[in-house]
């Protein structure tokens, strides 16, 4: 279907964009990458009266480290993160492992990380990563600027704490310390499908013991999730040697965490090709696999990362 008619504004500053979005009578939407918004408009799922194109707003494409976090501006395209050098240390590796699961190169050249957070699809890879990392979402509206923690941001499928008229100016992803291993694994039916299940994992190990586990789940509920119960089951566990093969033995803490994520954290909804029972099985397998890979990633990088997580 061709796009319905709308008004179009291309402001050049954030205040101008916020002013344009503040018009209550016009159902304004922000156009950044447009790779989901224009699709939704074609399918009749979105029908804004006004598109505020922020692609000409200076400075929004910045990606920089500030106060212990990677600040990703609203116009930073997915593609930027294909290089692990886009962020220091394990965070750069995690983002690079994640981004290859997002659509394909021409979409990644236009689509944005912040746009994924704004769209808030339950299967979104970036949303799962944002939750796992305790990201902070920076919003600007007519009433001023505010920051929302990722944990308070997702309210359901395509439902977030962002109110009409607000622009997400950036997302802040806290850096990961050097003793952290990362992984991102995804299962989907074909190369063109959304994730049936995807798992982001970061394991921090001190003195052979798991000091902190972070697990984000995509498409395991009506919204992206953090696997808090599975994370708690890992804290204090012996990290042990990297697991040979792709699946940990059933009594291994990683396998147990997978089962806990599937039974206690996930709330899978029925979908074509994947009923909840099947999805719980996949979640258990993928969480276990992601933790094995995070552990292997840590082993592969220990001794190479300089203390303090300097830029590689």
Partner 1 sequence: MRITLTVNGRDHALDVEPRRVLADVLREDCRLTGTHLGCEQGVCGACTVLVDGEAVRSCLLLAVQCDGRAIRTVEGLAGPDGTPHPLQRAFSAEHALQCGFCTPGFLMLAAGALESDPAIAADPERVRALVGSNLCRCTGYEPIHRAILRAASE
Task: List contacts with partner 1 (CB under 8 A).
Answer: 1-8, 10, 31, 34-35, 38-39, 42-43, 51, 53, 55, 100, 103-107, 109-110, 191-192
Continuous segment of H or E residues that includes residue 197: strand 197-206
What tokens appear for 61 in the block? 């494409």
Q: Is 222 exposed, middle or buried (0-12, 13-18, 19+ CB in 10 A)?
A: middle
**According to the 3-state scheme, what is the secondary structure of 136-173?**
EEEEEECCEEEEEEHHHHEEECCEECCCCCCEEEEEEE
108 or 223: CB nearest partner 1: 108
196 or 204: CB nearest partner 1: 196
Rounded least distance, CB 175 to partner 1, Å: 28
The residue assigned the tokens 């979640």 is: 283
The residue assigned the tokens 């909840």 is: 276
3 or 149: CB nearest partner 1: 3
Rounded least distance, CB 112 to partner 1, Å: 13
User: CA–CA separation, 147 vs 168, rounded Å?
Assistant: 9
104 or 306: CB nearest partner 1: 104
Q: What residues pair up with 152 in beta bridges, in sequence order?
A: none
Of 118, 78, 123, nearest in space to 224 by CA: 123
42 or 155: CB nearest partner 1: 42
Rounded least distance, CB 4 to partner 1, Å: 7
Residue 145 phi, psi dihedral angles, 5° rounding? -100, 145
What tokens appear for 270 in the block? 């029925």
Residue 127, number of CB atoms within 10 A of its CB: 28
Of 130, 194, 184, nearest in space to 161 by CA: 130
- Rounded to the nearest 10 degrees, what angle do helices 253-260 and 276-301 cross at? 140
Rounded least distance, CB 136 to partner 1, Å: 29
27 or 42: CB nearest partner 1: 42
191 or 207: CB nearest partner 1: 191
100 or 157: CB nearest partner 1: 100
Rounded least distance, CB 42 to partner 1, Å: 6
Rounded least distance, CB 238 to partner 1, Å: 35
Rounded least distance, CB 29 to partner 1, Å: 13
Rounded least distance, CB 191 to partner 1, Å: 5
User: How far, CA to CA in Å, does 89 sit from each of 84, 301, 306?
Assistant: 8, 9, 9
């Amino acid at each position: 279907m061709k796009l319905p008619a709308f008004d179009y504004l291309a402001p050049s500053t954030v205040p101008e964009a916020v002013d344009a979005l503040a018009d209550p009578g016009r159902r304004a939407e922000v156009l950044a990458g447009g790779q989901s918004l224009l699709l939704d408009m074609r399918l009749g799922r979105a029908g804004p009266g006004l598109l505020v194109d922020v692609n000409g707003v200076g400075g929004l494409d910045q990606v920089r480290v500030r106060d212990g976090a990677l600040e990703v501006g609203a116009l930073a395209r997915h593609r930027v993160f294909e290089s692990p050098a886009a962020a220091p240390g394990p965070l750069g590796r995690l983002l690079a492992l994640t981004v290859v699961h997002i659509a394909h190169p021409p979409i990644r050249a236009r689509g944005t990380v912040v746009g994924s957070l704004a769209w808030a699809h339950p299967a979104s890879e970036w949303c799962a990563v944002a939750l796992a990392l305790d990201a902070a979402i920076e919003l600007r509206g007519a009433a001023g600027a505010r920051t929302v923690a990722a944990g308070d941001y997702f309210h359901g499928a395509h439902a977030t704490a962002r109110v009409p008229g607000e622009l997400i100016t950036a997302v802040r992803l806290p850096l990961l310390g050097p003793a952290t291993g990362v992984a991102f694994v995804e299962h989907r039916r074909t190369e063109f499908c959304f994730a049936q299940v995807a798992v982001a994992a970061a394991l921090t190990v001190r003195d052979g013991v798991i000091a902190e586990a972070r697990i984000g789940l995509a498409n395991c509920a009506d919204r992206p999730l953090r696997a808090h119960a599975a994370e708690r089951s890992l804290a204090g566990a012996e990290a042990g040697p990297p697991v040979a093969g792709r699946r940990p033995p059933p009594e291994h803490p990683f396998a147990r965490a997978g089962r806990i994520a599937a039974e206690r954290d996930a709330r899978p909804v029925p979908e074509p090709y994947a009923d909840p029972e099947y999805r719980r099985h996949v979640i258990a397998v993928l969480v276990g696999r992601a933790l094995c890979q995070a552990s292997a990633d840590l082993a592969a990088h220990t001794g190479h990362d300089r203390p303090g997580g300097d830029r590689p």
